Chain A
Amino acid sequence: DTEVTQTPKHLVMGMTNKKSLKCEQHMGHRAMYWYKQKAKKPPELMFVYSYEKLSINESVPSRFSPECPNSSLLNLHLHALQPEDSALYLCASSPSEGRIGRTGELFFGEGSRLTVL
């Protein structure tokens, strides 16, 4: 299984709603990521989990809350979002090489397209 699976594929929410995006991989990867991608722009890193611990938070607003319940799952909890948060949210995973500074291939999921009304 070389897939990163994301659900839901599409999500529409109001600014007062609470929702979650989910990501799952069964490749045994120990690093998982959330990226945000706006139309015609590159992916922007939000969070990195390494061995189920948050290792990088790119100064993301607290209305985005990541969670890594186990080595296969990654969630992104959404609360009180703004219309400008509408974007494609990409989950990715990579094999951890266990050494600081080494990066392996990123396997991306298909993304969750979020619209905030």
Chain B
Amino acid sequence: GENVEQHPSTLSVQEGDSAVIKCTYSDSASNYFPWYKQELGKRPQLIIDIRSNVGEKKDQRIAVTLNKTAKHFSLHITETQPEDSAVYFCAASPRGVGNTGKLIFGQGTTLQVKP
């Protein structure tokens, strides 16, 4: 089955710097890759996603890149702010009968943005 590896597990940056979180996946048939942000005590919330027919997607300070050949995708946050501090989870959706709606999550990255 699908396996998602996420690195680093913790990341500390200075306010205004960029942050990059990387994930690799094992199932080459996976076709949907969302990123979720979870603040302490809150629900996971989708911040950006990308489908397998696209190589890059950007939304203001957040961008995601996908390399299907290498089976990895990355989250890039520019001009980080203290409110970006949270746990970030990547996920992959394996394709195929019986897998509709299934997301496999990475282990999470705790991002700390220091003022």
Query: Residue B105 contacts which of A42, A48, A102 (CB distance < 8 angstroms)?
Result: A42
Query: Residue B102 contacts which of A41, A56, A107 (CB distance < 8 angstroms)?
Result: A56
Min CB distance B92 to A, Å, is 10
How many residues of A are counted as interface, with CB atoms below 8 angstroms from the partner's CB atoms?
26
Query: Residue A55 contacts which of B31, B32, B46, B101 (CB distance < 8 angstroms)?
Result: B101
In the complex, what residues of B have CB within 8 A of residue A50's CB? Answer: 100-101
In the complex, what residues of A have CB within 8 A of residue B99's CB? Answer: 56, 100-101
Interface of B is mostly: loop
CB–CB B100/A108 < 8 A: no
A32: nearest residue on chain B (CB-CB)? B101
Q: Which of B37-45, B56-64, B72-80 contacts A (4 or more CB under 8 A)?
A: B37-45
In the complex, what residues of A have CB within 8 A of residue B32's CB? Answer: 102-103
Query: Residue B34 contacts which of A42, A48, A90, A105 (CB distance < 8 angstroms)?
Result: A105
Cα(A31)–Cα(B99), bound, Å = 12
CB–CB B106/A101 < 8 A: no
Among B97, B98, B103, the most chain A Cβ lie within 10 Å of the Cβ of B103
Q: Give chain A interface residues in 64-104, CB to chain B under 8 Å.
A: 90, 94, 96, 100-103
A55 with B100: in contact, given A42-B108, A101-B95, A106-B34 (CB under 8 Å)?
yes
How many residues of B are counted as interface, with CB atoms below 8 angstroms from the partner's CB atoms?
26
Among B36, B43, B49, B87, the most chain A Cβ lie within 10 Å of the Cβ of B43
CB–CB B43/A100 < 8 A: no
Cα(A111)–Cα(B42), bound, Å = 8
CB–CB A43/B105 < 8 A: yes
User: Residues on A close to B: CB < 8 A?
Assistant: 31, 33, 40-45, 48, 50, 55-56, 90, 94, 96, 100-103, 105-111
What are 5 A-B residue pairs whose CB atoms fall within 8 Å in the complex? A41-B107, A43-B44, A55-B100, A103-B101, A103-B103
Nearest 9 A/B pairs, CB to CB: A42-B105, A101-B95, A103-B93, A108-B43, A48-B101, A103-B32, A31-B101, A110-B43, A108-B44
